Amino acid sequence: MLQQYEKLKSALSSAKKIVFFTGAGISAESGIPTFRGKDGIWNKMKPDELANFNAFLRNPQIVWDWYQYRKKIVHQASPNHAHLTISEFQNYFDEVLVVTQNVDGFHSRAGSEIVYELHGNIEKNYCIDCGKRFDFENLEIEGKVPKCGCGGLIRPDIVWFGELLPEDAYSLSELAAETCDILFVIGTSALVFPAANIPYIAKKHGKFLVEVNIEKTELSSIVDLSLFGKAGEILPQILQRVKEEKSYGKN
């Protein structure tokens, strides 16, 4: 382990731009369930019935209720040490960018200033007919799927299977991966594309890749360093090394 940290320490000592690519595992310690694995959401629920547009058209109420339930879990939870540590990295490096697949908004709540949300945000909604946005509003009346002024159904702003990712967020994430010094991959199985391209793009551009996960993933064989353990424990240890190295912040 010590030797692994030495490799990372040397990369961190010259790094200016750091990217964190995160997935559901980073919010697991906040009590938000992950998708895959033994306790994952897709072990109990079928993605085809919940996370695609046809399912919403077939039965909007079921899908809407499911996201309201998920939103409640997010409201009852808070960002954990991992989110907070990432935001603290901003005090020690010129640029810190977060590319997240998560829809819980925890990175922004934890204070990260640049966050690209590739799969949307559970607080946001839009009309399926006219596209009007309803961000951060409580739209429900008696638990019914809300409707827009134009008569269209309002859906959560979540990227479902078969849907395109937000173009700006994705292209800025690609650029971040191409231009960073270190890319940390935190708590993701890296199985869902095109989001999972991000670490491969960084690799292609010769960037230093570090994975933090409780178990091996698809990426373990291509990263420069795998740190196995909980994100909320490993990330503070890394930041501690950065602090010792720099002994003062940039401000």
Residues that bind ligand BJW (CB under 6 A): 23-25, 28-29, 34-37, 40, 51, 101, 103, 119, 158-164, 187-189, 191-194, 212-215, 217, 230-231
71 to 110: interface string for Zn ion, x by CB under 5 A: ----------------------------------------
What helix, strand, coil percent values describe the chain, rounded to 5? 40, 20, 40
Q: Where are the beta strands (DSSP E) in the chain?
A: 17-22, 95-100, 115-117, 120-127, 133-135, 154-158, 182-186, 208-213, 225-228
Q: Which of 33, 40, 146, 152 binds Zn ion (CB under 5 A)?
A: 152
How near is the Cβ of 251 to ligand BJW at its closest, in Å? 29
Question: Can you list the pairs that 30-35 forms with residues at least 24 positions away whose Cβ atoms lie under 8 Å?
Answer: 30/77, 30/78, 30/79, 30/80, 30/83, 30/104, 30/106, 31/73, 31/76, 31/77, 32/73, 32/74, 32/77, 32/102, 32/104, 33/73, 34/187, 35/189
119 is catalytic: yes
How near is the Cβ of 249 to ligand BJW at its closest, in Å? 26
Determine contact, residues 120/155, Cβ cutoff 8 Å: no
Q: Which residue is nearest to ligand BJW (CB)?
A: 25
Nearer to ligand BJW, 95 or 107 (CB): 107
Handedness of CA 135, 136, 138, 144 (dihedral sign): positive
Nearer to ligand BJW, 23 or 181 (CB): 23
Q: Which of 86, 115, 122, 127 binds Zn ion (CB under 5 A)?
A: 127
Partner whose footprint covers residue 241, from ligand BJW, Zn ion, none (CB < 5 to 8 Å by kind) = none
Task: State CA 26 to chain mean position distance.
Answer: 8
How near is the Cβ of 55 to ligand BJW at its closest, in Å? 11
Nearer to ligand BJW, 49 or 95 (CB): 49
Cβ burial, residue 68 (10 Å; 0-12/13-18/19+): middle
Nearer to ligand BJW, 1 or 164 (CB): 164
**Tokens describing residue 145:** 């799927």
Partner whose footprint covers residue 193, from Zn ion, ligand BJW, none (CB < 5 to 8 Å by kind) = ligand BJW
Nearer to Zn ion, 90 or 125 (CB): 125
What single DSSP character describes residue 192? S
For the annotated catalytic residues, the residue numbers are: 119
Q: Which residues bind Zn ion (CB under 5 A)?
A: 127, 129-130, 132, 148, 150, 152
